[in-house]
Amino acid sequence: MPVCSTVTLTMNPALDVSSEVAAVEPVAKLRCAAPRVDPGGGGINVARVMRRLGEDAACVFPAGGATGQRLVMLLRREGVHIVPVAIAEETREDFTVLETRSGQQYRFVMPGPSLSSTELANCLEAMHLKDVCPAFVVASGSLPPGAPSDFYADIARQARTHGRKLVLDTSGAALKAALDAGVYLVKPNLRELRELTGRALENEADMLGAARAIIAAGGAEIVALSLAENGARLIARDAAWSALAPAITPVSTVGAGDSFVGALVHALATGAALPEALRQAVAAGTAALLSHGTELCTAENVSRLLPQVVVRQI
C-alpha cells in the first residue's frame, strides 16, 4: 500500500449501471443501448476522483457475492488502492436510464445488503491500516439497511482519537448523530441542510446562519454547502466564501456531489487554502455534469473549467 493522505469509507457501495432508451413507458419492452458499468458509492467515488487528480486514497468498503467481486475488479483496473471487507450478502446494483426523447434521467437505487454486527465491526477495524497514517478520513454515502444510525458518529470519535480529520457526506439520522459527535467538515446540499435544521432556508443569510449554527454547536469546523447550479458555499468559524459554477449544458447529474468532495479533499490534502479548495471542488462538480451515465469528472474537464470558477469572500 502506498503512502495515502486519505482513507475513504463506503458502507453501502454499488455497481452503477447506466444506459439510454428513446422513451420510458409502462408495460412495453424498452430496448436500451449497451450498458456502462462503473464502481459506485460515495467514498469509492471520492477515491476514484482523487486518483484522477493525482492523489492516492485508500478505499475501504464491504463487498459480497459476484457483484462485489466485479466491483473489486473494476476498482483494481482503475488503480484505486482498495481494502475490501468480505460480507455474506450480495453487493447491490443501481440502474440509471437516460430518456433521450426528453433528456430526463431516471435513477433506480436499491437498498443494499444488510451487514451483521461482526461485518460492521470489521469495517471499523479495516480503517486501521498498517503503515498508513492518513490526515483525512472521508465517510460518504448511505448506511446499509439495519446499520445503527450512530455508525458514522463512531467513525467521528475514532478519527478524533487518532488525530484525523473526518469529512462527512451523508444525510438523515446518520448525519445528525455524527454532527452530535463532531466532525472536521460536513458537506450537505440544500435539501439535506433544510431537513437537518427543519427550516426553509430561503435566502443566503438563512443558509449561512444555519451553517454557522452547526459550527458554533461543535458539529463541524467547516460546512461545505453545495447548491447545484448556484455553485457552493464554504463556511468556517471566522470566514465564508461563495463560488459560482461555470455555465454549462449538463449531460448527467450522477456523480457531481462525489466529484465535488473528491476534489475538495484532494485540494485540502495537498495543502490548498480553503478558497482554492472550494474553487477546485466546484470545478470538479461541474465537470461531472459533462460526463455520460454514471461517469465522474475527468481531470481534463476540471482543468478546463477551473479558471471559470469565481470565488469571493462573503
What DSSP string runs through 134-175?
-SEEEEESPPPTT--TTHHHHHHHHHHHTT-EEEEE--HHHH
154 is annotated as an active-site residue: no
Asked whether 252 and 293 are in contact (CB, 8 A), the reply is yes
- pLDDT value at residue 130: 59
Separation between Cα atoms, residue 285 and residue 226, nearest integer Å: 9
Identify the residue whose cell numbers are 486514497.
57
Cell numbers at 8, concatenated? 475513504
Torsion sign (Cα): 125, 129, 130, 135: negative
pLDDT at res. 210:
97
pLDDT band at 3; cut points 50, 70, 90 = low
Topology of the domain covering 8-313: UDP-N-acetylmuramoyl-L-alanine:D-glutamate ligase (3.40.1190)
- Helices 256-269 and 42-52: crossing angle in degrees, nearest 10, is 60
Interior/surface letters 85-102, b for 16+ CB within 10 angstroms, e for the rest? bebebebbbbbbbbbeee
Checking if the pLDDT of 29 tops 60, the result is yes
- Where do the structural domains in the chain lie, given as residue ranges? 8-313
Looking at residue 261, its amino acid is V
Among 11, 67, 76, 62, which residue's Cα sits nearest to residue 37? 67
Cα–Cα distance for residue pair 252/144, rounded to 1 Å: 25
The overall average pLDDT reported for the chain is 94
- Give residues with Cβ within 8 angstroms of 93, minimum separation 6: 14, 15, 17, 67, 110
Q: What percent of the chain has pLDDT over 70?
A: 97
pLDDT-derived band at 251, boundaries 50, 70, 90: confident
Q: Report pTM.
A: 0.94
**Residue pLDDT, tens place only, 192-225:** 999 999 999 999 999 999 999 999 999 999 999 9
Q: Rounded CA gap, 35 and 20, in Å?
A: 8
CB 238 within 8 A of CB 222: no
pLDDT at 293 over 80: no
Distance between CA atoms of 138 and 3, rounded to whole angstroms? 16
CA 271 to CA 225: how far, in whole Å?
21
Of 95-99, 130-134, 175-179, 245-249, the least confident: 130-134
Set 16, 94, 150, 258: catalytic member: 258
The stretch 98-122 carries a mean pLDDT of 95
**72 Cβ neighbours under 8 A, 6+ residues apart:** 63, 82, 84
pLDDT at 131 over 70: no
pLDDT average, residue stretch 46-64: 96
What is the structure's pLDDT at 132? 61
